[in-house]
Amino acid sequence: MKLYDYKMAPNPRRVRVFAAEKGLDIPLVDVDLGAKAQMDDAYRVKNPQMIVPALELDDGTLLTESVAICRYLEELHPTPNLFGDSALERAQVEMWNRRMEQEGLAAVAEAFRNTVPGFAGRALPGPHDYDQIAELAARGQARLAHFFDDLNAHLATSAFVAGDRFTIADITAYIAVDFAKVAKKRPDDSQPALIAWRDKVAARPSAAA
């Protein structure tokens, strides 16, 4: 298998960190989003969604969507478990992971992609072009502020995002918090639990993936 990747983008990073937690070394193929390589015929034919990450299996099957790819890797390599290992824990991990996507990653994207000139006409990833909307950038900033405050409050009483151990929900949340710097948002002194958790996750070797 090989993973279509772009180092600076948050979603492929989720898969790289997940794979690193599993001790997997998946060959990477760089799709240079900065040079719009996702729109080149060579990649578009393979992946009409024109997004990364994408995992290509040895028989040519292509999987997109970070969580779907991670679920597949979890099935192949169940240890360490990162999606929950009881009915309740699986539901809690799913709940928190979705929240971290919607409240975190989506908020950064809304703030960032609706302002940066390089995304003019490309406010959303994928095969269709959408204009930037300034009001959405402002709303994204407001959502980001709430995301940081709400996550800080949650982490004041929970060691990790979905409970007492590291899961995929921490990967999504950590990458959302880190990537928020592109929207000029960083944890501050009013968010000590968020900073302590971020530093704990950043110290894991997988964070460098």
Ligand X SMILES: N[C@@H](CCC(=O)N[C@@H](CS)C(=O)NCC(=O)O)C(=O)O
Distance CA 50, CA 156 (A): 39
Range in contact with ligand X (rule: CB under 6 A) among 7-15, 134-142, 158-166, 192-200 = 7-15
Residue 98 sits at the vertex; the CA angle it makes with 95 and 102, to the nearest 5 degrees, is 135
Q: Which is nearer to ligand X, 7 or 184 (CB)?
A: 7
Nearer to ligand X, 125 or 187 (CB): 125
Structure tokens at 111: 């703030």
Minimal distance, residue 112 CB to ligand X, in Å: 11
Q: Which is nearer to ligand X, 13 or 185 (CB)?
A: 13
Cβ at position 156, least distance to ligand X in Å:
28
Cβ–Cβ under 8 Å, residues 126 and 49: yes
Site for ligand X in 112-171 (CB under 6 A): 122, 125
- Out of 3, 4, 10, 172, the only residue in the binding site for ligand X (CB under 6 A) is 10
Measuring CA to CA, which residue among 168, 148, 156 is closest to residue 69?
A: 168
Cα distance between residue 159 and residue 46, in whole Å: 41
User: Can you tell me the distance from the alpha carbon of 70 to that of 19, in angstroms, rounded to the nearest whole number?
Assistant: 8
Contact call for residue 85 and ligand X (CB under 6 A):
no
Cα atoms in the Cβ-side hemisphere of radius 13 Å centred on 188 = 7
For residue 134, give both structure tokens: 């300034």
The pattern of x and - marking residues 31 through 60 that bind ligand X according to CB under 6 A reads --x----x-----------xxxx-------
Report the residue number, 44 or 77, with the smaller CB distance to ligand X.
44
Q: Which residues bind ligand X (CB under 6 A)?
A: 9-11, 33, 38, 50-53, 65-66, 122, 125
